[in-house]
Chain A
């Protein structure tokens, strides 16, 4: 499921939610561990402080007399014996300092020379601060105790303690916490993942059904409501209703497009009838002339030419109609001729409004473009341009193929295309619902989008509309 996207935001919920839970649990575990370790450290320090207080207090009682006498040996002997004791305080060294700061005696005279000033910074810090000082970096603590006799200070007793065992205990506790928290987090993440997968299973089915629908396939059993969850049953019911609504709308749209095409066909048929009828009257006149004066060589030849031109005109109109509406409209290629034939299909509108049709077709004879779609779209837009143009106006058409791209330009002198209509043409993305008006434009835009083209609409300040259509000719060329 992770393969559906690399970026975390693309990860499925079944992964994201357990992951978030795992991260939160890890954060909670860290906080709890920190509190536990801080508490452990505090308890250890308190216990050591109590032990040191009791031990130093007891020792101080026996040291008061020798210290008062400045008895180096007895002081040393007492310190040395206590330091050598097993099972009590983890003493590294003990020192008795005189009020002047000189060492009277220490359990380790090499480190703390007799009758010399104390030189160890840690012990000096403890002496200045009084009480007990911890240095976890050096794994040592220093406890101090004031030696008094007769209400006066005789000296200070300092005990340097080894706290490696305490630190090791803290490390063990930290390790145990990290291991247990990591294990719990992993287990909770795993359980969360399984639960989320199970809970989100119906949504995955819904997504798969939507995917199938998008590809035009039947979602089949995927749309069957899951058991148990009322919310999902409701959701699946609504989704099925939505699918039905979309299908109905598609059918309606198809019907609308078909109706529009038929209406267009009707208009074209009428126009064609008109176009055929006009020369037919002339042709019948020519036939009458032939019948009456057919013996005359000059008249006969002229009549035959007229007949031929008239019949060719009819053939062009009929031929164009056949090309445009033959069943196989998905012509594999676009031909220059097919584009030229569009003139005949709009001829009626041009004539009716006495328009000037400026035609510039510079396409090569044949191009690997969906000819049917291009023709249908251009015909819709040309008819739209003719319809929008004022009587006696000009409609210009231009077709060029260059740099692997086909460009078409249709310009009219109408009042300017409404913004909503222009938006239909210029839209990108999936087809929107067909509008109430402008079905022809919507059809053109949908066809153009289907063949991978783009449409731009320009509206002149003094009216008039220019529509630029581009479509890639070669595979791999993108429309800018």
Chain B
């Protein structure tokens, strides 16, 4: 399962099958916006606010589409069934030739975040090497912070996740990684640092069972991306950029604990792209 990241080949195969998938938006009028487990959880209020905000800003009906994995959302986006999606940096760098970078969230003053390696509160380890033999929980094979960052860190240390850990599994959600580690299902886990910090504010009991063993270098924050040929890119970009000026937009930002959305260059994700190459080579 370790190598289940989203390769170009697999995406191509999935795209070939895309017309057979249930229609998610192509035929429907208005905008389709995809969400992935980058989001914290099923926050109904947040989704309602987003729909309300974007419908008002674009003047079209907006459909928010959620999928369990990054792979599913990326496939829908590349297949044209979504106008845009909030995806992770890892799938973005894999397909940036076919995707436009719409905006990037700004968190704590910068469009950056880190990957955390967390362990159970009573785990004796103080260094990465001491996690050897653990059962490790990853978030998603197509997640930078929830897989790629830790996998390449181990590769740089001459190790491989599949042999370094006793066993690894994917929870398909950063919150689920925290749950798995805190409940003892896994000894350690790889999680989005932004999600972890927001969870620490919103669900301190859940996070109380864990501690952060290692923080990664900064990476470009998971971006909002659109298909390169999408006509909605400009409309969406201005809506995201104006969010901090709008009362509903500010509520959305407050719920997401974000400062605002900003434009950014594709080079923001070069670190992730480098990691992706390392992993591809190692595979």
Report A's interface with B, CB cutoff 8 A: 71-73, 76-77, 80, 105, 109-110, 113-115
Check if A110 sits within 8 Å of B184, measured CB to CB.
yes
CA distance A408 to B171 in the complex (A): 119
Tell me the minimal C-beta distance from B269 to chain A in angstroms: 27
B211 to chain A, nearest CB (A): 17
List of A residues within 8 angstroms of B184 by Cβ = 109-110, 113
Q: Is B56 an interface residue (CB 8 A)?
A: no
Whether the pair B137, A73 counts as a contact (CB closer than 8 A) is yes
Chain B residues whose CB sits within 8 angstroms of the CB of A110 once the complex forms: 183-184
Q: Could you pull out 20 A-B pairs where Cβ atoms are within 8 angstroms?
A: A72-B167, A72-B169, A72-B185, A72-B186, A73-B169, A73-B170, A73-B180, A73-B185, A76-B185, A77-B176, A105-B185, A109-B184, A109-B185, A110-B183, A110-B184, A113-B184, A114-B135, A114-B167, A114-B186, A115-B166
B33 / chain A contacts, CB cutoff of 8 Å: none
Question: Contacts of A80 on B, CB cut-off 8 Å?
Answer: 183
* Distance to closest chain A CB from B166 (angstroms): 7
**Across-interface contacts of A71 in B (CB, < 8 A):** 169
Nearest to A72 among chain B residues (CB) is: B169
**Chain A residues whose C-beta falls within 8 Å of the C-beta of B186 in the assembled complex:** 72, 114
Contact residues of B with A, CB < 8 Å? 135, 137, 166-167, 169-172, 176, 180, 183-186
Chain A residue contacts of B172, Cβ below 8 A:
73
| Residues on B with beta carbons closer than 8 Å to the beta carbon of A73 | 137, 169-172, 176, 180, 185
- Chain A residue at minimum C-beta to C-beta distance from B180: A73
Number of interchain pairs (Cβ within 8 Å): 33
Nearest chain B CB to A245 CB, angstrom units = 99
- Indicate if the CB atoms of A115 and B167 lie closer than 8 Å: yes
| Whole-angstrom distance between the Cβ of B162 and the nearest chain A Cβ | 14
A101 to B44, CA, bound (A): 41
Report B165 CB to chain A, min CB distance, Å.
11
A21 to chain B, nearest CB (A): 62
The residues of A that contact B135 with a CB separation of less than 8 Å are 72, 114-115
CB neighbours of B180 from chain A (8 A): 73, 76
**A109:B183 contact, CB within 8 angstroms:** yes
Tell me the dominant secondary structure on chain B's binding face: mixed
* Residues in A neighbouring B171, C-beta threshold 8 A: 73
9 other contacts beyond A76-B185, A114-B185, with CB at 8 A cut-off?
A72-B135, A72-B185, A73-B137, A73-B170, A73-B171, A109-B183, A110-B183, A114-B135, A115-B135
Residues of A within 8 A of B176 (CB): 73, 77
Determine the distance from Cα of A105 to Cα of B180 in the docked complex, in whole angstroms.
11
Contacts of B183 in A (CB 8 A): 76, 80, 109-110
**B210 to nearest A CB, angstroms?**
14
Which residues of the other chain, A, contact B185 by a CB distance below 8 angstroms? 72-73, 76, 105, 109, 114
Q: In whole angstroms, what is the CA distance A385 to B264 when docked?
A: 154
Cα of A202 to Cα of B114 in the assembled complex, Å: 105
Bound form: Cα–Cα A72–B1 in Å? 12
Least Cβ–Cβ distance between B278 and chain A, in angstroms: 26
Cα-based distance from A71 to B169 in the complex (angstroms): 7
A77 to B170, CA, bound (A): 12
Inter-chain CA distance A192–B45, complex, in Å, is 75
Complex contacts, A76 vs chain B, CB 8 Å: 180, 183, 185
Give me the 5 closest cross-chain CB pairs, A-B, nearest first.
Answer: A109-B184, A72-B169, A73-B171, A109-B185, A110-B184
CA distance A439 to B179 in the complex (A): 115
Bound Cα distance A253, B143 (Å):
128
**Bound Cα distance from A336 to B184, whole angstroms:** 115
Query: CB-CB < 8 A to A109: which residues of B?
Result: 183-185
Question: With the chains together, A287 CA to B180 CA distance in Å?
Answer: 154
Cα distance A297–B124 in the bound complex, in angstroms: 156
Q: Counting chain B CB atoms within 10 Å of each CB, which of A71, A73, A105, A110 scores highest? A: A73
Q: How far is the CB of A275 from chain B (nearest CB, A)?
A: 130
**Shortest Cβ distance from B191 into chain A, in angstroms?**
13
Q: How far is the CB of A476 from chain B (nearest CB, A)?
A: 90
The residue among B167, B172, B176, B185 with the most chain A CB atoms within 10 A of its own CB is B185
Residues of B within 8 A of A105 (CB): 185
B152 to chain A, nearest CB (A): 22
**B137 to A, closest residue via Cβ:** A73
**Cα-based distance from A105 to B135 in the complex (angstroms):** 12
Measured between C-beta atoms, what is the minimum distance from A118 to chain B in Å?
Answer: 16
User: Whole-angstrom distance from the CB of A187 to the nearest CB of chain B?
Assistant: 57
- What residues of A have a CB within 8 angstroms of the CB of B170 in the complex? 73
Tell me the bound Cα distance from A110 to B187 in angstroms.
10
Residue of A nearest to B166 (CB): A115
Smallest beta-carbon distance A367→chain B, Å: 106
Whole-angstrom CA separation of A73 from B69 in the bound complex: 14
Bound-state CA distance A48–B183 (Å) is 28
In the complex, the chain A residue whose C-beta lies closest to that of B168 is: A72
C-alpha gap A72/B166 in the complex (Å): 13
A71 to B171 CA separation, bound complex (whole angstroms): 9
Q: How far is the CB of B201 from chain A (nearest CB, A)?
A: 23
Interchain nearest-CB distance for B141 vs A (Å): 13
Give the complex CA separation of A471 and B253 in angstroms: 125
Q: Could you tell me the distance in whole angstroms from the C-beta of A343 to the nearest C-beta in chain B? A: 121
Q: Which residue of A lies closest to B185 (CB)?
A: A109
Closest to A77 in B: B176
Q: How far is the CA of A76 from the CA of B182 in the complex (A)?
A: 13
Q: How close is A224's CB to chain B, nearest CB, in angstroms? A: 91
Please report the C-alpha to C-alpha distance between residue A114 and residue B169 in the assembled complex, in whole angstroms. 11
> In the docked arrangement, what's the CA distance between A235 and B226, Å?
118
A412 CA to B167 CA, complexed, in Å = 122
CB-nearest residue of chain A to B169:
A72
**Which residue of the partner chain B has the closest CB to A73?**
B171
Alpha-carbon distance between A72 and B183 when the two chains are bound, in angstroms: 13
Instruction: Give Cα A336 to B186, complex, Å.
Output: 120
Q: Which residue on A lies nearest to B183, using beta carbons?
A: A109
Bound together, the chains give a CA A220 to CA B93 distance in angstroms of 126
Bound CA span A71–B166, Å: 15
- By beta carbon, the residue of chain B nearest A105 is B185
- Distance, CA A115 to CA B170, complexed state (A): 15
